[in-house]
Chains A and B, each alone.
Chain A
């Protein structure tokens, strides 16, 4: 990709660009104008207290939530809408689905398909969405399970796996679609403390391979070690952003200081 400015004004190496994004649930305004930019290949961490809107923002990126105001771009393309002149047209469900193929998402509650084995979970989207052959998908799924350290659990159902194992299968499932962007919504928050490490290891490995990742997390250690950028959100706005090591060790804003003093 060249570094030529795209027609919509985003620079070519921005994977995600958010301009004044607002989101309300009924009368409750959850996002009050989010401006940020995630560069291609970087690990972007979102931290903040619960209810600060960080998960909602993440869900807006693959249009699981509809943005009320502002503009959100993924890889230079508007999320959920098409702009023609000065008019916005809502995308059809099929068009939204097409864009979601390129965005992997990992959930706090794993959301594995319980009626399928680990291998079938990973195979499902390539076969059903991309139309890969079963043999091809099975081979690739096997490789991905090996990559997350679960080659021996291919035939297990999610209920037979620990939380950490389930989350690693979920990561493999998202990777099976060869996404250009991975969203992590508090991937370790539902795990026993001793299982967190395995999942973070897989994520670290993924970051090293150059994947663009947006990670909503409470794992400050991970953010400091692996993160390239960090944003602290509170009350639906970005309070502070910058290099994770700087923000975490030397927060400038009073709200960031009080939050970090409680979690660190």
Chain B
């Protein structure tokens, strides 16, 4: 079918004389002015209260880049990354198990999620720490044999405690993602002769990622903060170091503020990373990709300077 694509084009040199633009007086929203003033006043009051309170603020910058704090930051990041890797790999595995047609694997996955999601992570950490009461030795035949207590280092305890707990949450997130992919996609790839595994890997998971990434970003931020619990298994990280410095330097509360500031910085960096991952998995899903923050700032600057398109 050949369609004649000769469109009638208007004269290109003269811009079309559009209708006269409406010039009307906009509605005044007085309520907005009032609420803005109230909100600003409250904010200022809170900042003032903290600023003139009995807190030695100068102690915060003094210790901000202290060696122990920097070590703590790295350990916190290490814990976060490794626990999330355990959590994500375990989560995908559990999600696939739960969706499997094999009733045994799906039930086992169900029980795992039920248990690890149903008990506090702090309790799980302490249990891992004290598992030496149950297992005296770890014996992997000819490969490895040692006392449980020397095998279970604080780092390993912390990783298992956080990672296995996380896997239960990630499983539900991954399951939601897998279920969100249209069944037609599976059918189409099966009709092309693709195996189950390949369909999952090439077709379903890349599309599920769009649903999986935002809540996973949430989980990463949560994980970063939850790592502050692992001092109970004797693994020192940012919060523990800040606490230690606080007790020695005589500025305990100040060091909590310092730790809070570091956590904020780290979570902010992670959020930026999340934004770009989301952008990657959004390809093909919308006609134009959302702008990067840099592009947004540029656009805002232009609109502020009165530039209109």
Q: Which residues of A are at the interface with B, using a C-beta cutoff of 8 A?
A: 62, 64, 93-94, 97-101, 103-105, 107, 109, 111-117, 124-125, 128-129, 157-160, 170, 173-174, 177, 197-198, 201
Contacts and interface: CB of A to CB of B under 8 A. Distances in A.
Contacts of B309: none
B1 interface: yes
Q: Which 3 A-B pairs rank lowest in CB-CB distance, beginning with the nearest?
A: A101-B193, A111-B188, A157-B284
B32 interface: no
A78 to B, nearest CB: 18
Contacts of A105: 188, 191
Given A98-B193, A111-B187, A128 B198 contact: yes
B206 to A, nearest CB: 5
B284 A115 contact: yes
A175 B281 CA distance: 28
Contacts of A158: 284
A62 B286 CA distance: 32
B193 to A, nearest CB: 4
Contacts of B198: 128-129
Interface residues of B, number: 25
A177 B193 contact: yes
B1 A197 contact: yes
Contacts of B191: 62, 64, 100, 103-105, 174
A115 B285 contact: yes
Given A128-B198, A157-B283, A159-B287, A113 B188 contact: yes
A128 B187 contact: no
Given A125-B192, A129-B193, A159-B285, 5 more contacts: A109-B184, A111-B184, A111-B185, A111-B187, A114-B285
A113 B203 contact: yes
A128 B192 CA distance: 10
B7 interface: no
Contacts of B107: none
A104 B196 CA distance: 18
Given A115-B284, A157-B283, A159-B286, A107 B192 contact: no
Contacts of A64: 187, 190-191
Interface of B: 1, 182, 184-185, 187-196, 198, 202-203, 206-207, 281, 283-287
A201 B3 CA distance: 13
Contacts of B286: 159
A67 B175 CA distance: 30
Contacts of B202: 124, 128
A92 B285 CA distance: 35
Contacts of B1: 197-198, 201
A80 to B, nearest CB: 13
A196 B184 CA distance: 21
Contacts of B187: 64, 107, 111
Given A109-B184, A128-B202, A97 B190 contact: yes
A185 to B, nearest CB: 10
Nearest to A198: B1
Contact of A115 (B182, B196, B206): B206
Contacts of B188: 105, 107, 111-113, 170
